Structure 1
Amino acid sequence: MAFKKDDNFGEWYSEVVVNSEIIEYHDIPGCYILRPWVMEIWELLKEFFDAEIKKLKSKSYYFPLFVTENVVQKKDHFESFAPEVAWVTKTGNSELEAPIAIRPTSETVMYPYFAKWIRSHRNLPLRCNQWCSVVRWECSNPIPLIRSREFLWQEGHTVFATKEESDEEVLHILELYRRIYEEFLAVPVSKGRKSEMEKFAGGLYTTSVEAFIPNTGRGIQAATSNCLGQNFAKMFEIFFEGENDPTQKKKNKKDKRSLVWQNSWAYTTRSIGVMVMTHGDDKGLVLPPRVAPIQVIVIPDPLLEDADTAAIKGVCGTIVYTLNQAGIRADLDARENHAPEWKYSHWAMKGVPLRIEIDVKDLANKQVRVVRRDNGAKVDIPSTDLVEHVKVLLDGIQDSLFETAKQKRDACIEVVHTWDEFTAALNDKKLILAPWCEEEEVEKDVRARTEGDLGSAKTLCAPFDQPDLPEGTVCFASGKPAKTWSFWGRSY
């Protein structure tokens, strides 16, 4: 590693994602080749999330990536995405009669067909999900996995008869996103509600899980679960008949149709970038065991030229087989063109949680040496007890990574009450928790007053876990009565 995490975070991150074989740079800026190491992590996350949403009776769909101009330019929604939309204007040598957009998100692709498919309350709820890529041509300073022009994501779109059903699902999906980050990626997040300025364009309200990178002092929107309300239903005329929503006003007494309620929710490969930033160190990537494509790498170390290498490799192969049979993702590095020390460094760079070394002495003593990637601790374990010891070690690494990350994140949280405290905390790269009046003009003013080379501060979310707000508490920025505590900071 040419760069250290604490000295030059940006260059360190760029080096880690390439050297650990997560990505390769493409010749189009802002687009990246996702290599097998990162795709296997994505697939492990997909396996968990897909199983959970199928419990909710969500069905898999795939909609085209192209959107016609007249549909994508629906007011309210399009205005937010307009600067990011990539357009196809030509095929071969011929100009298209009308440009075609490449989806930045799929509401306008899907909802004309929802209007076609939904007629009665018997068609509800409708729950669809797709795993795909989207294009947002908006990056002046792209960051691999964090801000890229094309990225992979999961996007769910659901339709209900009532707001109560919609509200319930919003929080259920948000909890699944929390679990992805905290239980799999070992990254602490805060669940909360976005401000009106930061909510999904055209939606009723947006909830999110928010992560924080202590080294840069920047928050990062990790995933969102949106209640779209009935705005899109009005745009695309999505009605249902029967079992009417009692809150819906009818045009006349004979009109039995009601507008549906809709949600959308998504998380992306950004999640893996957040994991890299959170756990990586000066040796490279550090992977939580639950998402590591290889949890244990076994490396024979003959030590002596006349050592019984065949016997050592045989034991190594047996260990890999035993671990795999126990459900542990293990592999053997028996390459003869690299020294053991080179292999140790290689697999440390790739972040494999545990390394097992076996040499002549280990063979004679019927033991193995196990080395943890997260803290470098070494322990000799009898070969007969290996499976149980490895399981305990992997669980310990998973828990330790989360607790360490949480302690670092929590140490960055600073509670402020005044503008001077706010600006000091912002300059000190803190995750700021401040009382706020919830007025949009005040948030705009905060952005304007903090604009600089590092970007401006904004709301991240109003956490669901709210501290007490004593009567008489005033907004840190306006002096008006505060209505909520909100996280603020610079963000990616």
Structure 2
Amino acid sequence: METNYTLTNIEETEQFLSANGIEFTSVKHVAVPTVEKMLEEVKFEDKNVTFAKNLFLKDKKKKTLYLLIAKHDTVFDFKGLAKFLKTGSSNIRGGDADKLEEILKVKGGSVNLFSILNDNENKVELLMDKALYDQEYIGFHPMQNDATFAISSSDMEKVIKLSNHEPQVINFSELIVLSEAGKDKQEKKEKPKKEKKEKVKDEDLHELGITISRQDDFSLWYSQTITKSEMIEYYDVSGCYILRPWSYGIWERVQGFLDNLFKENGVENAYFPIFVTEKALTKEEDHLEGFAPEVAWVTRSGKTEMKEPIAIRPTSETIMYPAFAKWVQSHRDLPILLNQWTNIVRWEFKHPTPFIRTREFLWQEGHTAHATKDEATKFVYAILECYAKAYEEMYSVPVIRGIKSRGETFAGADFTSTVELFVPANGRGIQGATSHYLGQNFSKMFDLWFENEDKKKDFAHQTSWGFTTRSIGAMVMIHGDDKGLVLPPRVSQVQVVIVPISNKTNSDQILEVADKVFDTLKKAGIRVKIDDRKNYKPGWKFNHWEVKGVPIRIEIGAKDIEKSEIRVVRRFDGKKFQLSTEGLADNLHEELQKIQHEMYEKAVKERDQRIKKSATWEGFMTELNQRNLVLTPWCDKESCEDNVKERSKEESKQAENAGEEVLTGAAKTLCKPLEQPELAEDTKCFACDAGATATALWGRSY
């Protein structure tokens, strides 16, 4: 039985319980982050309610995550628990807050039974206290700690069953007995230890870094990388995230780069409201159908129901084009070339992934109106090239320029052009950005017409195009390694970090040299930072800045000063070498350019090695299941693509069930590359044997 629940607050928990016929009693109260506070503040007048104690744990050695739910007065014995779980007692510790929020969709202090329903991929093992099953009613937080719901023990079991988790039921009194064995001997061996000053241990250093490889668990690696590098902070609305300065600074640089390119193409910036009326949004049926499941509606103001619901923009065609229609009368009023930098809300119901799939995201959206199809089409490709440059020149990420299939075309467009990316580490494609030719579809709907040079009425030819913060996530996935981020110099908030390596006798001298190097580099336009914190050792600092992906680290020690040199370490490939302080700024500028270029070349090579060709279904599935992209001859029919999606999904499941390590899921066309090879007249479609009319690039994607 598959589950597909997403509970993030009290309302969604209520809906789940009601929908599944589970009776509950609700009590609102002040926020109670601990079970002790709960016992003080929460009272049920008509029920004998036992409160639950909830812990999110991990096994450091096995990388296993646990949700432990016990009676509030249960005495935990972690030594006994470790023996029960067959691991060392030192390996059981509190789970990471980012994983708690990512998987169970709940913050610390609010952990509860209902949160296990969010673990649709069964990444967390459920441990239940046997004593809870003997209680009449048990109290749990409904995803937030300012309320408590009481449900019966039988309904507790029903919730567990609906979560599709098979719990391990633990008798904690037996665990205590189990751990007592050998305790006396251990106490005799133990001797009083002298108190030591707190210091950062090797294992603590390790915990600061990335603890999982991309190959072992790509999803967990990605989550650790974006949180430990201080790019993302999780938020209490599912699918929404805080962009910290380390990531927002990247967005600012790419934003500035694109904004200049847009303006070189005659585009001006404007701003339009975030709200759109239902009448305007529903005017273009194909457009609405493409976004309907993701549209968020405002239906109430305070406690008053609104007469007409208002949508929060999923995109702005239907907001902007009524204004365009007012502004245009003659061909002399064209073209209109406008762009806005803004946010968008699309209420995604799929598993959210920071940057890649979120309910709110930052983007730019451009909208234009032209007198002719030729002019509008040329503009579509001009913008596509701006996007390609942003990826290639700023992110050092190669793209494939192409046209979307009919089934993947933007709702309401005649055609969609795209730049497509590839993540070699997990074999998935990512749509980088799109530029659409809308034809006259919207202009006819919104009465956007003009008098042409022949003094005849004609409708405008339109384009729309967008680039989002998804690009940051793609960059992380493509360039990152097992140590964390690897940032291209042009987008990195800090390009060079200086780490002084000193002791008590030479500290002042080394810091003085470090300050001079800092001033030299800053004046030369290099984004530089000194990490002169005295409460951290150099090794900790090295690890910290490696996780954050800073392109170059400079180390300055006593021996370096004697030789008028500094030590340079490149984050991209780990190369280490000495540079003279003479001409340092010029040499580092050159080194940063090299890193930018070499990162791009490496990404191109890794991608190209994973693009395969096949003219048959069997060859296609073989390459696809090996996590490659596949170029095939194709009939370009929507019905054929639908069939490919179904067949590839089913066959990959069969391969997985047979024990093969394959990337499961449906394959789809990423694009028809702009560079099309010539097809022989008798070439057949790889999937249906109809005549092939194009070469398509296929893959599994985000």
With normalisation by structure 2, the TM-score equals 0.67
1:208 is aligned to 418
Paired residue for 1:182?
392
Counterparts of residues 213-252 of structure 1 (less than 5 Å): 213-244=423-454
2:495 aligned partner: 295
2:532 corresponds to which letter in structure 1? Answer: A
Counterpart among 350, 353, 370 of residue 568 in structure 2: 370
The answer to whether residue 551 in structure 2 is matched with residue 343 in structure 1 is no
Give how far 1:428 is off: 1.1
Equivalent of 1:127 in 333, 337, 351: 337
- Give the structure 2 partner of residue 451 of structure 1: 649
Q: Quick one: distance in 1 between partners of 2:631 and 2:543?
A: 40
* 2-structure distance, mates of 1:451, 1:367: 58
Contact 1:204 1:228 in 2 (8 A): yes
- Counterpart-to-counterpart distance in 2, 1:204 and 1:243: 25
Select 2:274's aligned residue among 47, 65, 70: 65
CA deviations 1:318-351 (Å, max 9, x no partner) are 1112112112111111111111111111111110
Q: Which amino acid aligns with 1:369?
A: R
Which among 517, 522, 527 is matched to residue 324 of structure 1? 522
The offset of 1:82, in angstroms, is: 0.2
593, 601, 618: which one aligns with 1:403? 601
46, 51, 55: which is aligned to 2:255? 46
Asked if 2 retains the 8 angstrom alpha-carbon contact of 1:229 and 1:262, the reply is yes
- State the number of aligned residues: 480
Residue in structure 1 matched with residue 591 of structure 2 by the alignment:
393
Alignment of 1:144-159 (within 5 A): 144-159=354-369
Partner Cα separation in structure 2 for residue 139 and residue 368 of structure 1? 51
Following superposition of structure 1 onto structure 2, how do residues 305-316 of structure 1 map, counting pairs within 5 Å? 305-307=504-506, 309-316=507-514
CA distance in 2, matches of 1:352, 1:364: 27
* Aligned equivalent of 1:161, options 336, 355, 371: 371
* Distance of 1:231 and 1:110 partners within structure 2: 14
- CA deviation after TM superposition for structure 1 residue 139, in Å: 3.3
In the alignment, structure 1 segments of 5+ residues that lack a partner are 245-254
Per-residue deviation, 1:467: 2.3
Once the two structures are superposed, residues 221-262 of structure 1 have per-residue CA deviations (whole angstroms, 9 ceiling, x without a partner) of: 100011110000011010011325xxxxxxxxxx72110000
Read off the aligned partner of 1:68 and give its amino acid letter: T
Q: Using the alignment, how far apart are the partners of 2:608 and 2:516 within structure 1?
A: 44
TM-score of the superposition, structure 1-length normalised?
Answer: 0.96
Separation of aligned partners in 2, 1:95 and 1:455: 42
Relative contact order: is structure 1 or structure 2 higher (C-alpha 8 Å, sep ≥ 6)?
1
| Structure 1 CA distance for aligned equivalents of residues 382 and 519 of structure 2 | 39
Measured after TM superposition, the shift of residue 368 of structure 1 is 0.4
Note if contact 1:136-1:150 (Cα within 8 Å) is conserved in structure 2.
Answer: yes
Q: Give the one of 106, 130, 152 matched to 2:316.
A: 106
- Asked if residue 273 in structure 1 is aligned to residue 482 in structure 2, the reply is no
Q: CA deviation at 1:354?
A: 0.2
SS at match of 1:76: helix
Match in the other structure for 2:264: 55
Match of 1:14 in 2: 223
3-state SS of 1:197 partner: helix
Counterpart of 1:464, as a letter, is: L
Letter in 2 for 1:291: V
Q: 2:670 aligns to what SS in structure 1? A: strand
For 2:427 and 2:570, how far apart are their aligned partners in 1?
28
1:63-103 CA distance string (max 9 Å, x none): 11111111111211101100010111111110011111010
Amino acid at match of 2:619: E
What is the alpha-carbon distance in structure 1 between the residues aligned to residue 257 and residue 392 of structure 2? 13
Taking the aligned partners of 1:470 and 1:392, their CA distance within structure 2 comes to 48
Mark the structure with the bigger radius of gyration: 2
What residue ranges of structure 2 are gaps of 5+ in the alignment? 1-209, 654-663
- DSSP 3-state at the match of 2:407: coil
State the one-letter code of the partner of 1:319.
V
Q: Which amino acid aligns with 2:340?
A: Q
Please tell me whether the aligned partners of residues 287 and 351 of structure 1 are also in contact (alpha carbons under 8 angstroms). Answer: yes
- SS for the counterpart of 1:219 is strand
